[in-house]
Structure 1
Amino acid sequence: MPHLSSPRINAVNDRMSDIRSVKTYQPPHHATSIFQAVTTIGSLLACYAALFMGISHHIYAVLLLLPIASGLAIRTFTLQHDCGHGSLFRSAVVNHHVGRLCSLFTLTPYDHWRRHHAIHHGDWNDIDSRRRISDIYSDCTTVYEYYKMSPVERIVYRIFKNPIISIFIIPPIIFFIVYRITFDAPRSWGVHVTNLCLLLLYGGLAYHFGVATTVLLAFGVVYPAAVIGVALFLVQHKFEGVHWERSENWNAFEAALTGCSFLRLPG
C-alpha cells in the first residue's frame, strides 16, 4: 500500500509528536512540589511576621523586606495557578487545599479564579471568543475595530491602555476589589468563603497591630505583587507577532505555543 501523505496529515502528525514530547515533562515531582510550596509559603509567612513585629522599631529593615515579601507573593500566586491546573501535586485534593491556602496571601479566590482561568485557556487567541469577563488580562482590539470607534471611544480606549492605568492602577483594583465580587453563581461560594477568611485573618491582625499598620503592610506587599503579576500576564500574551486564529481553525496546543511568550531573565 502506498504511503499517504499531505500537508494537513503531516501537520497533525507533527503536532501529536510535539504533544507527546511535552507530556514527558507533565507529571509533577512530589518532593520538588512539596519543597517549592513549603519554602515559598513558609518564607512569605516569615516575612509577614518580621514586617508586623518590626514596623514599630526597625522601619528601614521593613522597607528592605517589603519587596522580598512582594516577590514571594508573586511566587505564591504562581503556585496557586499551578494548583488550579492540577499540575503542582498529583493529588487533586492536595492541589485544591494548597491553592486555597495560597489565596489568603494572593487575595484571589481559588475556586472562582480557577474556573475563569480554565475558560481563558479554552479560548485564548481565538479572535471570535473575546470580550469575556473571564479574561480580564488579555483582551484585544483589532486595528479595524479601533478605526471603527468614535473619537470618544478611542480616547477612552487609549486611556485604559495607557501603561500608567493598565499596569499601575487597574491591577490593585482587580486584587483588592474585583476579586471580592461574585460574577458567576456556580462558584460564588468560593468568593464568599475567601472573603470571610480574609476578614478573619486581616481583621485579627488589625485588632492586634492596628488598622493602619495592617492596611499599610498588606498594601505594601500586595500592590507591587499585583502590578508585576499583571504586567507579566500582559507581556506574556500581548507582544509583536503574537498569533490569533479564527474559531474554526483554533486549537489549544498551537495557541499555547504561538500565543504566549516567556520571560528571559538575565543570567
Structure 2
Amino acid sequence: MTNLKTLKKEIAPYEKSTMKESVWQVINTLGPFILLWILAYQSLSVSYWLALIPMVFAAGFLVRSFIIFHDCTHYSFFKSRRANRIFGTLIGVLSLFPFDQWGHDHTVHHATSGNLDKRGTGDIWTLTVKEYAEAPLKQRLAYRLYRSPFVMFILGPIYVFLLKNRFNRKNARKKERNNTYLVNIIIVALIALLGITLGWKPFLLVQGTIFMISGSAGIWLFYVQHTFEDSYFEENSEWQYVLAAVEGSSFYKLPKILQFLTGNIGYHHIHHLSPRVPNYRLEDAHANTEALQHVPTITLMTSLQSLRFRLWDEEKKTFVSFRKGIKSAADNRRLTAEAKPEI
C-alpha cells in the first residue's frame, strides 16, 4: 500500500453530505420499505409463502435504513449535528438500535479495529491461536458456540437487537441512558399500535420475518467486513489506524442490487479510513483514489470462505479454522520444546 500518509487527505473531499442526496436516499429507502411491508401484510391473506417475496425485499430496505442510521451516528448523513441526532434516533427505531449507545460502541470499534490489545467493544469476539490453545475448556467451548453460524447469524440478531440493545451499558452517561429509554418507549408504542390495529398474528409474521432476514444479513455484513483471510491485527505498539482501515476492512464487491440495498457499506475500507464520508459517496471515493485500487477485495462467492475463519494466527498473520489453529498451536509448542537446551 502506497501513500499511506496522504490517503486520508485524498479522501477528505468526499466528506461532505448534501441535503438533496440525503433526503432522496431517505425517500428511496423508507418509501419502498413501507410499500413492501404493506404488500407483504396484504399477501398474507393468500399465502405466507407469497408474502415472503415482498418480505425479503423489505428486509433489504431495512438494512439500507440501518446504513442511514449508521451514517447519522457518525454525523455524516446531514450537515447539521442536531439533524443527524434527531433523525438517527427516529430511524434507529426501525432497526431497534438506540442512537447514543450504538454511537459510543461503534466509535470505539473504529478507534480499535484490528488492535489486539483493545478488543471487546463494538466488535466480534476474536481469539488468537495462542489464546485459544491456552484458554480453559469452558472458554473454548463458549467461543466455539459463539462462532457457530447458528448462534452468530440466527440467535445473534435476537440477542443483540431485541435484548442487548434494550439495556444501557455500564457507566453510560445520563444523555445516553435517556436516549435508550426514549427509543425503547417509541418501539413499544409502535409495536402496540401496529399489533392492535393490524392484528398481532399478521403483524408478528411480517415484522418477525423481516427482522430475522435483515438481522442475519446485518450481522453477516459486519462479520465478513473484518473476518477475511489476510485481515489486519497487530498489538498496540505496532497498530496503525490507516493500515487497520485499508488492510483490516474489506472491499466487499457486491452485485449492484445488493450494493444498493446495503448502502455501499461494502466499501468498508473507505468507511474506516474516514467515517465522515456519507454512504452515497463511498463508491466515488474508492474509484477516484489510486492507492485504494488494490485493497483486500472479496466477492459474494469468496466471502463464504469466511465462515471457516475462527482464529487469528499471530505468527502467519492470517485467519485460520479451528483445525488449522489447533495444529499451528501444537507445532509451536513442539518447536518451543525442541529449542530448549538439554540440561
TM (norm. structure 2) is: 0.69
SS at match of 2:242: helix
Q: Does 1:174 align with 2:163?
A: no
- Residues 126 and 250 of structure 1 are in contact (CA less than 8 Å); yes or no, is this contact kept in structure 2? yes
User: Which residue of 203, 209, 216 corresponds with 2:198?
Assistant: 209
Q: Distance in 1 between matches of 2:241 and 2:182?
A: 32
Residues 122-167 of structure 1: CA deviation (Å, up to 9, x unaligned): 1111110113xx32x4231010001102334322221221112112
- Residues 205 and 214 of structure 1 are in contact (CA less than 8 Å); yes or no, is this contact kept in structure 2? yes
Change over 3 Å in CA distance of 1:100–1:20 after alignment to 2: same
Q: 1:88 is matched with which residue?
A: 77
Report the residue type matching 1:102 in the other structure. Answer: I
SS at match of 1:177: helix
User: Which residue of 120, 125, 143 corresponds with 1:139?
Assistant: 125
Offset at 1:48?
A: 2.3
Q: Distance in 2 between matches of 1:208 and 1:222?
A: 20
Q: Distance in 1 between matches of 2:12 and 2:209?
A: 39
Offset at 1:57?
A: 4.7
User: Which residue of 242, 260, 266 corresponds with 1:253?
Assistant: 242
| Number of residue-to-residue matches in the alignment | 252
- Residues 76 and 102 of structure 1 are in contact (CA less than 8 Å); yes or no, is this contact kept in structure 2? yes
Report the residue type matching 2:151 in the other structure. Answer: I
Q: 1:222 is matched with which residue?
A: 211
SS at match of 1:100: helix
Alpha-carbon RMSD across the aligned residues, in angstroms, is 1.8
- Residues 72 and 87 of structure 2 are in contact (CA less than 8 Å); yes or no, is this contact kept in structure 1? yes
Q: Distance in 1 between matches of 2:49 and 2:204?
A: 18
Q: 1:3 is matched with which residue?
A: none
Q: 1:4 is matched with which residue?
A: none
- Residues 138 and 234 of structure 1 are in contact (CA less than 8 Å); yes or no, is this contact kept in structure 2? yes
Change over 3 Å in CA distance of 1:60–1:140 after alignment to 2: closer
- Residues 236 and 261 of structure 1 are in contact (CA less than 8 Å); yes or no, is this contact kept in structure 2? yes
Q: Distance in 2 between matches of 1:88 and 1:118?
A: 16
Q: Distance in 2 between matches of 1:258 and 1:88?
A: 25
Task: Specify which structure has the higher proportion of strand.
Answer: 2
Offset at 1:98?
A: 2.0
Superposition pairs for residues 143-154 of structure 1, below 5 Å?
Answer: 143-154=129-140
Q: 2:141 is matched with which residue?
A: 155
User: Which residue of 122, 128, 151 corresponds with 1:165?
Assistant: 151
Q: Does 1:79 align with 2:68?
A: yes
- Residues 101 and 180 of structure 2 are in contact (CA less than 8 Å); yes or no, is this contact kept in structure 1? yes
- Residues 138 and 238 of structure 1 are in contact (CA less than 8 Å); yes or no, is this contact kept in structure 2? no
Q: 2:28 is matched with which residue?
A: 39
TM (norm. structure 1) is: 0.88
Report the residue type matching 1:210 in the other structure. Answer: G
- Which 10-residue stretch deviates more, 33-42 or 245-254? 245-254
Identity of aligned residues (%): 25
Offset at 1:61?
A: 4.1
Change over 3 Å in CA distance of 1:41–1:130 after alignment to 2: same
Task: Specify which structure has the higher proportion of helix.
Answer: 1
Report the residue type matching 1:153 in the other structure. Answer: Q
Q: Does 1:242 align with 2:228?
A: no
SS at match of 1:263: strand
Report the residue type matching 2:163 in the other structure. Answer: I
Residues 151-185 of structure 1: CA deviation (Å, up to 9, x unaligned): 34322221221112112221222111111111143
User: Which residue of 117, 129, 133 corresponds with 1:128?
Assistant: 117
Q: Does 1:51 align with 2:40?
A: yes
Q: 2:102 is matched with which residue?
A: 113
Residues 245-267 of structure 1: CA deviation (Å, up to 9, x unaligned): 22233332221111110211236
The answer for unaligned runs of 5 or more in structure 1 is 1-10
SS at match of 2:11: helix
Q: 2:7 is matched with which residue?
A: 18
Q: Distance in 2 between matches of 1:98 and 1:192?
A: 16
Report the residue type matching 2:74 in the other structure. Answer: H
Q: 2:185 is matched with which residue?
A: 196
The answer for unaligned runs of 5 or more in structure 2 is 257-343
Off by >6 Å, runs of 4+ in structure 1: none
SS at match of 2:252: coil
